[in-house]
Structure 1
Amino acid sequence: MKQGFVKVAAVTPDIRVADVEFNKEQICRKMDEAAASGAKIIVFPELCVTGYTCSDLFTQDVLLDHAREVLTEIAAHTRDMDALVFVGAPLAVDGELYNVAAAMNHGKILGLTTKTFLPNYGEFYEMRQFREGPEKAREIEFDGEMVPFGPNILFTAKQMEHLIVAAEICEDVWSPVPPSIEAVREGATVIVNCSASDETIGKATYRESLIEGQSARLIAGYIYSNAGEGESTTDLVFGGHNLIAENGTILAESKRFENGIIYSEIDVNRLMSERRKNTTFKTAKERTLTRVPFDIEITETELTRVFPSRPFVPSENRERAKRCEEILTIQAMGLKKRLEHTHAKCAVVGISGGLDSTLALLVTAKAFDALGLDRKHIISVTMPCFGTTDRTYNNACKMSLSLGAELREVPIAAAVMQHFKDIGHDPEDHSVTYENSQARERTQVIMDIANANGGMVIGTGDMSELALGWATYNGDHMSMYGVNASVPKTLVRHLVQYYADTTDDKELQEVLYDVLDTPVSPELLPPKDGKIAQKTEDLVGPYELHDFFLYYFLRFGYTPSKIYRIAKYSFAGEYDDETIYKWLRTFCWRFFAQQFKRSCLPDGPKVGTVALSPRGDWRMPSDACVASWMRDLEQVAR
């Protein structure tokens, strides 16, 4: 419950058709199991008290009276249980029979949500026994208490402002306008569905896409509990296909044809953050739905859901290859448009032999191919200076020639030394001035070459560097089009790897593999024994950590303390808690302190859901203070 995580369960109990007493025992047993596992919302299938397939037995008082009696007993069983529980049952009201989901909490039935859409086609003939629920909820007497009865009853957690739960029943979600739409417009963040959906060929795939899509459309959590094996009778087979989804992502899915429980944690705070950002998500101006409070204890939720440690990089090889091809194409098409619009005669790329400039050069070559231009109009400029090693220099030269670009070498050491003399800087002082003078000299060189040749400078810096401000202001920070501006460092590596793996040019492939094997470095300090002396990740921290921090900070608005919590979980066995905490502090401090560099970024193509363009995804004051975020992180018990 803390930090917005709510553990939920979708349950398929063993049942016997029309054996109400047996079903009660199985429901209570599974309820105990789910509660013992920490589930705060527990959902059972449609009509599970009696069984969905009772058919005309639903007209028999023996079955209905026993079901009503047992419903009270199941509610009583929740007396000492810290959970909101939904159980499907038939209920006779005013001479009509309804299909309901009974919401229970701490021994009481809080509300009886009715099914709105009754299927009466194919194998379904619910209208033979049941009536559609009323248009609006009202109160009825149940076991001596007045209880809300009808559609879209909102169950609101007293102890957790944004935990608002609504129920719908099976066919409701298959309809053109599911009741959950109205419930969400009035604040529901979690939808439960008590279902009895039988199995036919291909139906499971459709069911999964339906629940996935509905949770995305509603920006909500969705818990779908389906009838299982014991329900199968006569012509129908039920598979117990349970699903837990959150905003378009399936968090947990059961194995079909096996009764049991699935669990996951719905992140209510994340849902609220997404809704606040989404201007097309419109809430109702007036509250018309019945709201019923329930009690639930705020506890630490043990996490079982997966938070990918490399969120920008698909883990599956085929999907990763598809993602890489798509991103390379987006980058190249963005640059293609800019080259066309400016009537540029050439493109100038400062090439260092590192990953970022390599990717920029590959993208430029792809853009030239798309334009039908000769790659010889790509001017690849290597600018060796104090920190350049033979390895990176040779790779830069070989790569440029393999791609058919014009290679130019402009040594800048003499110019930088003259600059040191002009400003009175001691060359033995290897401070930030020593480093940045080289970066700015390189930018001046390629800018002037572009001017002299009617071309434009292609930026090489990536999104991770921009997030940390790991760029020299008006040095490598500046270009005329930054093709890597929204590509994180962890993804840059995979894009170059993909290009290397798929190229037919064996010489280029060999060079790219060596680039991938080279430590990330700006090469601004003299090498030691001919090897790179300055390794970026030793100074600012591992990029795989920073990309993780960046993703969850920007994409979902997670607090630093929440990021720290999930990072410990995701990087268990890779980084210890102290290391994660150290670099998270660095990330927070640098992200705020370096915003002024992002406020004046050159144009560049957006490739993913996280981007830092000041004209698009991230608009932040350059002088914003980090104090509140640091305070949040410092409150974490280490």
Structure 2
Amino acid sequence: MGRKATLATCSLNQWALDFEGNLERILKSVEIAKAHGAKYRLGPELEICGYGCADHFYESDTLLHSFQVLRKLLESPVTQDIICDVGMPIMHHNVRYNCRVLFLNRKILLIRPKMLMANYGVYRELRWFSPWKQLRSVITQGHDTVPFGDCVLSTKDTCIGTEICAELWNPRRYSTMGLDGVEIFTNSSASHHELRKADLRVDLVRSATIKSGGIYLYANQRGCDGDRVYYDGCAMVAINGDVVAQGAQFSLNDVEVITATLDLEDVRSYRGEICQPNMEIEPKPCHRVKVDFSLSSGDDICLPTHQPIPAHFHSPEEEISLGPACWLWDYLRRSGQAGFLLPLSGGVDSSSTACIVHSMCVLLCQAVEDGNSQVLEDVRRVVVDDSYRPQHPRELCGRIFTTCYMASENSSEDTCSRAKGLASQIGSTHMNINIDMAVKGILGIFSVCTGNHRENLALQNVQARVRMVLAYLLAQLGLWARGKPGGLLVLGSANVDESLTGYFTKYDCSSADINPIGGISKTDLKSFLAYCVEQFQLTALRGILSAPPTAELEPLQDGQVSQTDEADMGLTYSELSVIGRLRKISKCGPFSMFCKLIHTWRDALSPAEVAEKVKHFFRMYSMNRHKMTTVTPSYHAESYSPDDNRFDLRPFLYNTRWTWQFRSIDNQVLEAFHGFLM
């Protein structure tokens, strides 16, 4: 028995209910871990079935197939002579648990159910699982049964304690295990990407090991496993407050294994100085499951150990470039479609979507160049060419990405030129189409039926909805018309702020198959486009950034756009970002929001002006909330997303007058006015 242990953690791109593929990726991760000398391998949460099974967790099939995969893992020669820690659902006494299963050499050592459920934001774990509530309590019956419950694994040379995802946030869990002698802590997670979030996980891991010492292994799911969220990897290993190994946050690799060799005596020395006064026997110590196995070896004295490294974080602009791009690629390669189609208007939103697709092509070409055979195989399947090898992002973009500018009599030459210029620089197959004939045909039918005149908003909506119909027609038949097989996925391009106010036409070209920017604010999208100018040399974006956002649905005046988004909404995009965060994150109703904003905006707006903006927002929000019931599935990137399908659970039928709430605001404005006079 030695003093140095080599440990492995990983990020896996698992897919909900893809038991075959999930098994292959788990085995590959174990194989890589063993090749690096690891004696312990940790995987992501619910990796056997995939985290996003949702109501499939109710089905007995999901439990049955998970056990069948577990049997394959136990019997495989790949998993011998290494402790494997895998995640799966298990039913015990007719109660369903989210569990870790630790096994070695065909024997299950213990089953550890999750004790703290994630039941907020995009998570609904209490819908499918029960938490294990018996602290440090284990069920064992006879010699042939497996310990089930809150226990730790005691090897010949160390002690390993398990946490599962949200338990990392529990202020008591880690420290009490550490004070009872646990030296290695593991956390299997399914943590999704949100802008500006990655540093929080690193800080939690570092702070946990600073307080009482120890080695911490963090594993995470990666990729789109079938839903709106993207799990962003970033597996890591830390010791005594220092990160010593960190995986990629965004990657096209389906399997990434991070290993680290660490000295167990470093943990003991750290605790001897820092924690000795607090080391004591707990009133109810951890239940230890003993195994005749060592993570270290007697001849490891010359084995080098991993040293601290600086944690790496991406800027928000890089996150937008990488996260949605990886999500799009997972969706495309798993959908069986041959590419994407985007109605490209020449504005910030659709241009951002186009740039994300271009970023995806950059990542694919780089992965192929780096020798990623899985990516190359998937690319060839998408383009239906077994001999194809992408040479350049522009060339690949031309094969899998079609953009279309749909002009009407209200469209300007400037937006048409900007859309064409961007399409040329990214390499998409681009079309210019005029929709006036279709719009006039529909309005002619209406006139014949009713004899009535046209109304402005209805006219705008007809234009918008015609674009949606054409987008799907081109997506289904566009490749066929060019003599190529397959269909295209239609991409949407409505940002999170427009969704908040409902500033889009229901079933217009914002209606699509998926939307990579539906959870991103206009402010962040503008910063992203400025980043793309430099990162990808897309100079056409400069003109797009300088132009005022417009839907171009109203007639031009002297050939120029007369309609702007912010004027139509009555709020600026920066104001909407503030309001969105207050509504969702701070959980403010109209009155609470007003009370906060009179201080936030006091230098620019009077209390009466703030009141009018708040009331205007809630009127628009409540009138248009119904649109969220049919909103295109969007990449989840913001914690104030209004997507009611999974994240923002609020009614869609409101009393839009908000009489009591608005009266409370008006009373406060009057009090402020009287106070000023006195």
Give the alignment's TM-score, normalised by structure 1: 0.48
Rg larger in structure: 1
The TM-score with structure 2 as length reference comes to 0.46
